[in-house]
Amino acid sequence: MNLARVYGSSLGKKYIMAITGLLLFLFVIVHMLGNLQVYIGRDAMNAYAELLKSKPGLLWTFRTALFIVAVLHIVSALQLAAENRNARPERYAAGKPIATFASRTILVSGLIVLAFIVYHLMHFTLGVTNPEFLELHDSLKRHDVYQMVVDAFRNPWVSAFYIISMGLLCLHLSHGVSSSFQSLGIRRRATAAALNRFAQVAATLIFVGNCSIPLSIYLKVVK
Amino acid sequence: MNLKLRVWRQENSQTPGNFVEYKADDISPDMSFLEMLDIVNEGLIKRGEEPIAFDHDCREGICGTCGMVINGVAHGPLGATTTCQLHMRHFKDGQLITIEPWRARPFPVIKDLVVDRSAFDRIVQAGGYVSARTGGAPDGNAIPIPKPDADLAMDAAACIGCGACVAACKNASAMLFVAAKVSHLNILPQGKPEKNRRVLNMVRAMDEEGFGNCTVMGSCEAVCPKEISLDFISRMNRDYLHALWRSK
Amino acid sequence: MKLDAKIPSGPLAEKWSKHRNNIKLVNPANKRKFDVIVVGSGLAGGSAAATLSELGYKVKCFCFQDSPRRAHSIAAQGGINAAKNYQNDGDSVYRLFYDTIKGGDFRSREANVYRLAEVSVNIIDQCVAQGVPFAREYSGFLANRSFGGAQVSRTFYARGQTGQQLLLGAYQALAKQIEAGGVKMYPRTEMLDLVLIDGHAKGIVVRDLVTGKISSHAADAVVLATGGYGNVFFLSTNAKGCNVTAIWRAYKRGALMANPSFTQIHPTCIPVTGEHQSKLTLMSESLRNDGRVWVPKNKGDNRPPNEIPKEDRDYFLERKYPAYGNLAPRDISSRAAKEVCDEGRGVGPGGRGVYLDFADAIERLGMNVIRERYGNLFEMYERITDENAYKTPMRIYPASHYTMGGLWVDYNLMSNIPGLYVIGEANFSDHGANRLGASALMQGLADGYFVLPYTIGDYFASERPAKPSLDNSEFKKVEEEVAERTKKLLSIKGGRTVTEFHRELGKLMWDKCGMARNEAGLKEALEKIPAMRREFWEDVNVLGDGNELNQSLEYAGRVADFMEFGELLVYDALQRDESCGAHFREEHQTADGEALRDDEKFAYVAAWEYQGPDARPILHKEPLVYEEVHLATRSYK
Ligand SMILES: Cc1cc2nc3c(=O)[nH]c(=O)nc-3n(C[C@H](O)[C@H](O)[C@H](O)COP(=O)(O)OP(=O)(O)OC[C@H]3O[C@@H](n4cnc5c(N)ncnc54)[C@H](O)[C@@H]3O)c2cc1C
Ligand code: HEM
Ligand code: HEM
Ligand code: SF4
Ligand code: F3S
Ligand code: FES
């Protein structure tokens, strides 16, 4: 296996896009499952968060890995996009492109998701936007993640931003996931339709799952 | 029927081009699109204006010479049809038709609607062949080929090299063309020995020519006059991965 | 001038192998010292350029299309013949040879045709090895179909795109040699003249169609593989770019033009729809395997086809030729169609068409089999006519399709000019007065892969041609002549377009010298053509200038040559006062309208020698000697 060849070639970069994309996709799912624990209650959620933080070694290897994956994904995305622009400087004067909206806007949706992630980290993890969040502790002196989330989404603007971002993530994945199967050469005539379905269903579930949290908090279903 | 045309006119690759409006009057629905342009050109010559330059030869949808973007769609509105096989009955009386050349950096405009597609030839030269020198070939029936394989190879080999896939692709990617060429030979037993070299070299050539990357938008498949399937792109991605794995 | 066909002695079946053993070879080290120019990248040119380069010669290859892969061979649909006898139906080299000679109505050279049949089997092997995806049976073995003029099933095919696939095979072999540096390819470059030095072909003068630059190329030998001249009729199944220019220029430099009047009219083309028509589309002859040709029994019966009951239909081919039925050879089928239309029984707009009906075949074999066999042809038909041939019968009518005539060549495919070789449709060699279906692809590839590469070596080895040099004044001289002519075309700025002239010439040729010819008509044409030509040079309007892409200029040059060539074609038709194959002189037919040959007087190849503008060319005759077959009246009844 010649790594220079991998990164040096258009197809190689696409493999990286696809693999990193799928990994991020997995993270988003797992992460969502974790977050859905708000419905079980404060104790479950905080316990889960505590569990994650209990093994710093593991946590940090995971964070680094995730970071590298994200960077690879984003960097190759930007490179590929630049090459594409360069290959096709002018647009056509008439007509509209024959391609799904999701596929045409994959870069934009990606960039907005990126913006979301940055805000999201400042929001919950780094305590930049709301330092007070990190001071919340429950009766067991654990970081009160549950309260943090509830407080956060009481703010309609924050909820709105999350929901919009989820919409774009969903758009991104609805194309991205099926596309990655094509990029990796997994897609075949027989399986094509099924894989597209899968991507759309998965994307929708992520959208519904993630959005339900700010919504139900804002609507006081979760207090 | 009478039509309004907006046609891209460009002296040569250096000078910038622009749209010029023409009228195409009493056009018969039985005319092919190129015959319609022939008539417009006859009129232009009579008026002492230079006719619109466009590439064409067989006018049977097989040589792959013709090709223009009609109202934003490569080869025009009718699916699975080259420009020369498109007939005027698919347009409405009084319609405005915008005609542009293939647009892609690796396909520089030579004049008006004529572009330079030699990049495709260079990609094939990089490995789109079976190295079987003339003479000394075994009997044609020495290697039986399962009918499904032969048919699949033929599906890929049907590509006429028109470049509509590149023209339609937002990224000006040549993946469909290259995938078709690679698959045609990689599927057949005769092509197996050079399978890996072929895909590696042809993809390299494709990248060097400056074509874009495939973000799986599918416009290429939609406009391809020979209905070359996206599956071949997937197949090439597979072949390439396998070849990379083997490569040192 | 004495025409020497250089046919090797000895029994027919051994001539070629004997010849191959006797001709001189060039040693490998010396091959790269020889430059060869190949004009044309079709099946003939492409395969020749690739093979010569594989052998070690330095090759330059030219074509006017933007890529060698677009040569007109790409349009061939039906298939390619080979005497493989895979079907075990009694086929053999001899049968293929005999069918071809007979199909050509005994006006072709025995030795050439036998060699063609002999190498036909290697062609299939070669193409399979290159990855040509021929149709296969479930066994995995190659499939065959039958074709006009044969009672065995020996035609190999790749869907309806056989020519495309064979050409891609040759193109890929060529691409490999280009990459290897053995071939320098010049696309979008048109040959506008041939350069002779001391009587030997030493180079060509070309125009770069993009920059307009006129330049010369020198070589030790020149190979013309520039295809047919069917476009002299304006409407034909040929690609728009097909032209006579290359061989016409060679003719004017002294090469002999043989049998120009042998032009084939293909029976199964889509009828003309109107004045705007720019070309005609062929429906592969293979359709005649399952389609039945008919017209209404009585004239003026304009019920829709499906409402005309069997008893009111005239399946005229089956009626007149029971043995071959719908698979009767092209010239015969075409004339039969013309006949019924002349009787006023033609169908469709203008009454110039006959039905090709698949109803029975669909009943017998089922929709899917028919779709599998002809799907893409049916689609093509619907695209053009807007009619669904699965439901209503196709309408077809004959159209100019192939030209058997061309530059005269000897057994080695060398013209009377030393060092000038002519291969493929551009030469006259193998098809006599009529070509059988699926045999042109065979000939193009036979010439390019398996004949020329051997015979050209003999010329180099025995003649040891002197090295040509571009400094030679001849090149400059010819370049100036070419530039002069281009300037002239651009300077006229008259009142009529090139297309108008081409249409006018085509119509005249079709009416007076098309499917059927007679003395009066031919003489009339001889009156008109020179006048038309004069008017062309006074009143044609070619805009733009010479130093850029200028399609009207290219076209004007080609039509100008057709204007001269057309006259020679008519001379030849007039001179040949017999009917044979595609050349049908109304004066010479049997009671039931079959061609009447006159072997006493006309068993020869008519080779014309140029005598200068407006001077009558000189006719040279190469007698056709038949050692193996005895001349019989061709009967397909
Ligand atoms: C519609 C159609 C269907 C056919 N179907 C069949 C079939 O089923 N079976 C069969 O056996 N035959 C068939 N034929 C006939 C067969 O295709 C041709 O006879 C054969 O392909 C000719 O090949 P070629 O190499 O001699 O010439 P072409 O393939 O015509 O190549 C001519 C080459 O010469 C070049 N050229 C010409 N003039 C110049 C110039 N002045 N300067 C530079 N380059 C020049 C062109 O660019 C081109 O590369 C068919 C023909 C047609 C029209
Ligand atoms: C959680 C975050 C993300 C996930 C789950 C994700 C997932 C994916 C997946 C699965 C693909 C398909 C890869 C392919 O087509 O082979 C993809 C493609 C893409 N992603 Fe992301 N992505 C994410 C974030 C981003 C970000 C932040 C960007 C910002 C630049 C981005 C830009 C792109 C682009 C441009 C493509 C198309 C690349 C191509 O096909 O050439 N993505 N993404
Ligand atoms: C409504 C949806 C979401 C909610 C409620 C949510 C909630 C949270 C919370 C509470 C944390 C902090 C966990 C802790 O500090 O213990 C967190 C961390 C994080 N979230 Fe989200 N998240 C959501 C969506 C997303 C999405 C779509 C992405 C990716 C595209 C994402 C990426 C991350 C990352 C990268 C971290 C940091 C993980 C770490 O600390 O290592 N989140 N999220
Ligand atoms: S893949 Fe289709 S669109 Fe692209 S070149 Fe081939 S035939 Fe034309
Ligand atoms: S349109 Fe372009 S993005 Fe890929 S699928 Fe076709 S090449
Ligand atoms: S002109 Fe040959 S494909 Fe259109």
β C155-156/C80-81 pair status:
antiparallel
More confident residue, C351 or C449: C449
Confidence at residue C160, expressed as pLDDT on a 0 to 100 scale: 84
What sign does the CA torsion over C535, C539, C541, C542 have? positive
Give C112-143 pLDDT, tens digit per residue.
999 999 999 999 999 999 999 999 999 999 99
Please choose, from the candidates A197, A149, A157, A148, the residue with its C-alpha nearest in 3D space to the C-alpha of residue A177: A197
With 0-12 / 13-18 / 19 or more C-beta atoms within 10 angstroms meaning exposed / middle / buried, residue B30 is middle
Amino acid at A5: R
CA of B66 to the centre of ligand 4 (A): 12
Which of A83, A106, A183 lies nearest to residue B237, judging by beta carbons? A183
Please choose, from the candidates C235, C236, C270, C265, the residue with its C-alpha nearest in 3D space to the C-alpha of residue C355: C270
The Cα B211–Cα B175 span in angstroms is: 9
The Cα C203–Cα C218 span in angstroms is: 4
Supply the mean pLDDT for chain A.
95
Give A186-216 pLDDT, tens digit per residue.
999 999 999 999 999 999 999 999 999 999 9
The Cα C543–Cα C531 span in angstroms is: 23
| Cα C46–chain centre separation | 16
Can you list the alpha helix ranges (DSSP code H) found in A88-144?
101-104, 106-120
For the cut 80, the answer to whether the pLDDT of residue B99 exceeds it is: yes
- Looking at residue B158, the DSSP 8-state letter turns out to be T
SS3 state at A143: strand
B138: contact with C, CB 8 A cutoff:
yes
Q: Find where tokens 């919950």 sit.
A: A124
Section C522-538 average pLDDT: 98
| C neighbour chains, 3+ CB pairs within 8 Å | B
- Indicate if C330 belongs to the active site: yes
Tokens linked to C421: 């070789």
Which residues fall within 8 angstroms of residue C78, CB to CB, at 6 or more apart? C147, C155, C157, C160, C162, C284, C285, C286, C437, C438
Give C41-67 pLDDT, tens digit per residue.
999 999 999 999 999 999 999 999 999
Section C297-317 average pLDDT: 94
For the cut 70, the answer to whether the pLDDT of residue C94 exceeds it is: yes
- Contact criterion met (CB < 8 Å) for C543 and B48: yes
ipTM confidence: 0.96
Can you list the alpha helix ranges (DSSP code H) found in A36-155?
42-54, 56-87, 101-104, 106-120, 145-154
Tell me the pLDDT band of C147, cut-offs 50, 70 and 90.
Answer: confident
Supply the mean pLDDT for chain C.
95
- Contact criterion met (CB < 8 Å) for C278 and B59: yes
Catalytic residue among C154, C330, C395, C435: C330
Confidence at residue C229, expressed as pLDDT on a 0 to 100 scale: 98
The backbone region for A68, taken as left when phi is positive above 0, alpha when psi lies in -120 to 50, beta otherwise, is: alpha
The Cα C446–Cα C413 span in angstroms is: 11
Q: Which of B217, B224, B239, B245 to mutate to test the interface with A (most CBs of A within 10 A)?
A: B217
Amino acid at C222: V
Residues within 8 A of C (CB atoms), B 194-213 only: none
What sign does the CA torsion over C318, C322, C323, C329 have? negative
HEC secondary structure over C459-502: HHHHHCCCCCCCCCHHHHHHHHHHHHHHHHHHHHCCCECHHHHH
Assess contact for B211 and B248: CB atoms under 8 A: no
Give B108-139 pLDDT, tens digit per residue.
999 999 999 999 999 999 999 999 999 989 99
Q: Which of B165, B211, B217 to mutate to test the pocket of ligand 5 (most atoms within 8 A of CB)?
A: B217
Section C225-249 average pLDDT: 98
The Cα C33–Cα C37 span in angstroms is: 13
- Contact B214 CB / ligand 5 (< 6 Å): yes
With 0-12 / 13-18 / 19 or more C-beta atoms within 10 angstroms meaning exposed / middle / buried, residue C567 is buried
Percent of chain A scored above 70 by pLDDT?
100
Confidence at residue C636, expressed as pLDDT on a 0 to 100 scale: 75
Which of B45, B121, B150 lies nearest to residue C175, judging by beta carbons? B121
What sign does the CA torsion over C239, C244, C245, C250 have? positive
Give B137-175 pLDDT, tens digit per residue.
999 999 999 999 999 999 999 999 999 999 999 999 999
For the cut 80, the answer to whether the pLDDT of residue C635 exceeds it is: no
Closest ligand 4 atom number to CA of residue B226: 7
Tell me the pLDDT band of A1, cut-offs 50, 70 and 90.
Answer: low
Give B84-94 pLDDT, tens digit per residue.
999 999 999 99
Q: Find where tokens 């048109």 sit.
A: C190
Which residues fall within 8 angstroms of residue C535, CB to CB, at 6 or more apart? C496, C501
Give B210-223 pLDDT, tens digit per residue.
999 999 999 999 99
Q: How many CB atoms lie within 10 A of CB B221?
A: 18
Section C228-232 average pLDDT: 98
Confidence at residue A31, expressed as pLDDT on a 0 to 100 scale: 97
Tokens linked to C99: 């069918």
Residues of A in contact with B231 (CB under 8 A): 187-189, 192
- Contact criterion met (CB < 8 Å) for A10 and B210: no
Section B47-74 average pLDDT: 97
Section C261-285 average pLDDT: 93
Amino acid at B167: A
Question: Order of strands across the sheet with C604-609?
Answer: C406-407, C257-258, C604-609, C618-623
The Cα C176–Cα C162 span in angstroms is: 21
Residues of B in contact with A185 (CB under 8 A): 234-241
CA distances from A158 to A120, A147, A193, A213 (A): 10, 15, 37, 12
With 0-12 / 13-18 / 19 or more C-beta atoms within 10 angstroms meaning exposed / middle / buried, residue C169 is buried
What sign does the CA torsion over C255, C258, C261, C266 have? negative
Residues of A in contact with B76 (CB under 8 A): none
Assess contact for C135 and C142: CB atoms under 8 A: yes
Residues of B in contact with C278 (CB under 8 A): 32, 34-35, 38, 59
- Contact C245 CB / ligand 1 (< 6 Å): yes
Section C475-482 average pLDDT: 98
